[in-house]
Structure 1
Amino acid sequence: MQYPPAPACRLLWRVIDGQAVIWRYGRMKKKEPASADVAKLAGVSRSAVSRTFTPNAYVSAETRAKVMAAAEMLGYRPNAIARSLSKRRSGLVGVVCSDLNNPFYAKLLELLSTALQQRGLGILLLVGDASRMDELLERLLSYQVDGILLPASKLTSRLAVQLNQSGRPVVLVNHHLREGSVTTVGGDNYAGGVMVADLLVAKGFSRIAYVSGPQDTSSAVDRGRGVQDGLAKHGLALAARASGEDRRDVTQQVMRQFMAMPNPPDAIFCANDLMALAAMEVVQGEFGKAVPDDIGIVGYDNTALAESTLHALTSVDQNLPLMAAEAVRILMDKIDGRPVDVSHIDITPQLVLRSTTR
């Protein structure tokens, strides 16, 4: 039998009947290359190897090339877990999201993740509805994440404050707390509501109804105040108002009630695009009304669904790229220990006009 030469193999000997014989044979476990091996082969210091694999750390182009070539030859990969232990950081940011069925939140999650990855951080994503939020947040804290982003529309104020008191840097995204104890980044929902009111009145609509999301969320409240105050400037009041709960079936039922009124609305403002599309289904499919000739419809968030030629929905764009960038910037300042006051950044929205508003 041919055995590979040492040290690639391991031979264990045992004396049997006075003679030494091979008792067991096995291949030696290959040793994983370490940063010291890379440094030696590249002819640089171990700190240079560390800087090469640390995002945004300075290292000269020549040194980087040497280190990367040596790492490739040895098959070296930096150990993220060991690095996190030495730096007392996990390299992870916790994200709690409650509604990925809404393309708005799916896009926001993509933008947040990309911005964090550009800074060398990964995300630990937990998804669940409001009834499971306590459980999810406890689990999130147990993973020792470096910071927390909360693009959760149904997050209660109590839970957000509890997170903030844990000592972890926290930033709320697209959600405001009335007591002002947690840093938030979101769209100016009140201004968005005013814009919708001005648009619908300018287009000749006068009986305008509002379909909000869950009534205990800041976005639902602020968008409602905005459209109500905007109509008041023109001497009008809301013709009707109800919560669609961010759900297609609930919104459809609300629309049936609106259309059964003696003098039904001639325009509907929905607090997100999903509800606006549900409203269109009822108006056109069940009541045979033409959009926008008989009834105008405006959504919110300017998702890909609104952009499609099939729907061509007029909607309010919240500038998600800026919202995500600002949220990550503030969180990184908090993580790195730079002074950050509790702040509330409101990003100005923009109306995107399409064919559902004349």
Structure 2
Amino acid sequence: MRSNEGVGNPPDPPSSASPLNVTMAAVATAAGVSRATASRVFYGSTPVSPKTRDAVYAAAEQLGYVPNVMARSLAARGSDILGLLLRDPTNPAYGLLFSELQTHISQAGLQMVTVAPSRTEGAHFERQALNRLLGLRVGGMFVATGVIRAEMLGPFLDVVPVVVIGRPETHPGICSVSYDEENNATQLADAVAAHGHRAVAVVTPSAENSVPENRRGVTMARRLRSHGIRVHEIPAPTFGRSDEGVREIIALRRSGRITAAMFPSDWRLLAFLPHAQAAGVRVPEDLSLTGCDGIMQGIDLLGFTTLRIPVERAAGRAVTVMKSMLDNPGGTEVTHELLPGTLVPGRTLGHVSPR
């Protein structure tokens, strides 16, 4: 007798599998669980074990499953309601993006419904939120999160138009309007180099937790090295934490091994400041700091050296692209737009006197 929490290995999908003819029962069978358990995984009514959840998601992605009721209703008719999957609206960058999208969507005569997992919830929670959003029969979907992977969106691309906003995207079937994170990180690294710093710590989150922050960290480190600067990469592997790397950075400064630290977001820089103060590390006299985003209210008073990402422009372009996809189903060319930001000089980046 099969247990509701049993886990099997998904078989190879038949060549005829498509998002519209794969059933939840087939996914449950492939994963070795009951249909009720599979339903709990997709719609989040009650918890299931991580092992079971991962097996169901793996089977769904292998079979190309899309929640059946949603898929057929979307295939049958369009909708002027757009969906937005938004990461952490308490983050100023995402909060502003939400506001700007709402303005542009209203001006286009459309409506928007939003789902937003909390900042501590990872990819599987966003997958559940995505299923709920699509179950509302939206006519198009914006995805503004650096967590959910492109392959999770793949099964829905033939059913509903998708536009990714903010994070870098290269999937050949997904339109995106992204911040040019390599350009942005390069501007920041060049500013640090121009201020004479020769040894710098760079906080780099994992790509699984944040594609944009990972891209920023990796690019900053690479650019600094091209200037002949010694780089101490500080990994930040835990999802939802903004204070990772604090001890390592303070230890590096106390030992005289760095004169600057670069953070992939203003939130991370802000979280570091109380620890620096408690450790007696003065900014920028002892340690220069840079952030990224440039959206936080009062950032001019804080004096952060950061980079202002073009949120308003990204929102406007994303709605224009979505409107084109809705007006011309199947006829809009997939594009990946990259929008550079603007360096914001501040008091947290100081000069190092040549020795």
Q: Considering the TM-score relative to the shorter chain, is it more than 0.5?
A: yes
The residue matched to 1:238 in structure 2 has which SS? Answer: strand
The answer for the alignment partner of 2:22 in structure 1 is: none
Structure 1 vs Structure 2: percent identity of aligned residues? 22
Kindly state the Cα deviation for residue 253 of structure 1 after the two structures are TM-superposed: 4.3
The residue matched to 1:252 in structure 2 has which SS? Answer: coil
The answer for the alignment partner of 1:335 in structure 2 is: 326
- CA deviations on 1:169-220 (whole Å, 9 max, x unpaired) are 1000112334433111111101111111110111122221112344323313
The residue matched to 1:198 in structure 2 has which SS? Answer: helix
2:346 to 343, 348, 354: 354
1:175 to 142, 164, 167: 167
State how many pairs are aligned. 268
The residue matched to 1:222 in structure 2 has which SS? Answer: helix
Distance 1:245 1:268, change over 3 A: farther
The answer for the alignment partner of 1:105 in structure 2 is: 94
2:190 to 187, 191, 198: 198
Residue segments in structure 1 that go unaligned for 5+ positions in a row: 1-86
Moved more, 228-237 or 320-329: 228-237
The answer for the alignment partner of 2:312 in structure 1 is: 321
1:118 to 107, 132, 136: 107
Q: What is the correspondence of 1:255-274 to structure 2 with a 5 Å cutoff? A: 255-261=246-252, 262-274=255-267
Kindly state the Cα deviation for residue 319 of structure 1 after the two structures are TM-superposed: 1.1
Q: What is the correspondence of 1:71-90 to structure 2 with a 5 Å cutoff? A: 88-90=77-79
Distance across 1 between alignment mates of 2:100 and 2:92: 12
- CA deviations on 1:304-356 (whole Å, 9 max, x unpaired) are 346241x1111111111111111111011001116321111000111011111
Distance across 2 between alignment mates of 1:328 and 1:137: 19
Kindly state the Cα deviation for residue 267 of structure 1 after the two structures are TM-superposed: 1.1
Q: What is the correspondence of 1:1-358 to structure 2 with a 5 Å cutoff? A: 88-128=77-117, 129=121, 130-165=123-158, 167-216=159-208, 217-243=210-236, 247=240, 250-261=241-252, 262-283=255-276, 285-305=277-297, 307-309=299-301, 311-337=302-328, 339-358=331-350
TM-score (norm 2): 0.70
Distance across 2 between alignment mates of 1:345 and 1:312: 30
Distance across 1 between alignment mates of 2:321 and 2:93: 21
Distance across 2 between alignment mates of 1:215 and 1:134: 17
Kindly state the Cα deviation for residue 90 of structure 1 after the two structures are TM-superposed: 2.9
Kindly state the Cα deviation for residue 246 of structure 1 after the two structures are TM-superposed: 6.9
Distance across 2 between alignment mates of 1:325 and 1:187: 13
- Which one has the largest radius of gyration? 1
Kindly state the Cα deviation for residue 101 of structure 1 after the two structures are TM-superposed: 2.3
The residue matched to 1:346 in structure 2 has which SS? Answer: strand
Kindly state the Cα deviation for residue 237 of structure 1 after the two structures are TM-superposed: 3.5
Distance 1:208 1:246, change over 3 A: farther
TM-score (norm 1): 0.70
Distance 1:176 1:164, change over 3 A: farther
Distance across 1 between alignment mates of 2:322 and 2:132: 20
RMSD: 2.2
Contact 2:168 2:179 in 1 (8 A): no
Distance across 1 between alignment mates of 2:78 and 2:138: 8
Distance across 1 between alignment mates of 2:204 and 2:90: 17
Moved more, 181-190 or 212-221: 212-221
The residue matched to 1:204 in structure 2 has which SS? Answer: coil
Moved more, 199-208 or 257-266: 257-266
The residue matched to 2:245 in structure 1 has which SS? Answer: helix
Contact 1:317 1:352 in 2 (8 A): yes
- CA deviations on 1:27-84 (whole Å, 9 max, x unpaired) are xxxxxxxxxxxxxxxxxxxxxxxxxxxxxxxxxxxxxxxxxxxxxxxxxxxxxxxxxx
The residue matched to 1:140 in structure 2 has which SS? Answer: helix
Contact 1:210 1:238 in 2 (8 A): yes
Moved more, 300-309 or 326-335: 300-309
Q: Which residue identity lines up with residue 255 of structure 1 in the other structure?
A: V
Distance 1:275 1:202, change over 3 A: same
Distance across 2 between alignment mates of 1:119 and 1:342: 21
Contact 2:234 2:245 in 1 (8 A): no
Distance 1:134 1:252, change over 3 A: closer
- CA deviations on 1:136-158 (whole Å, 9 max, x unpaired) are 22222222211100111211222
The answer for the alignment partner of 2:31 in structure 1 is: none
Distance across 2 between alignment mates of 1:251 and 1:245: 9
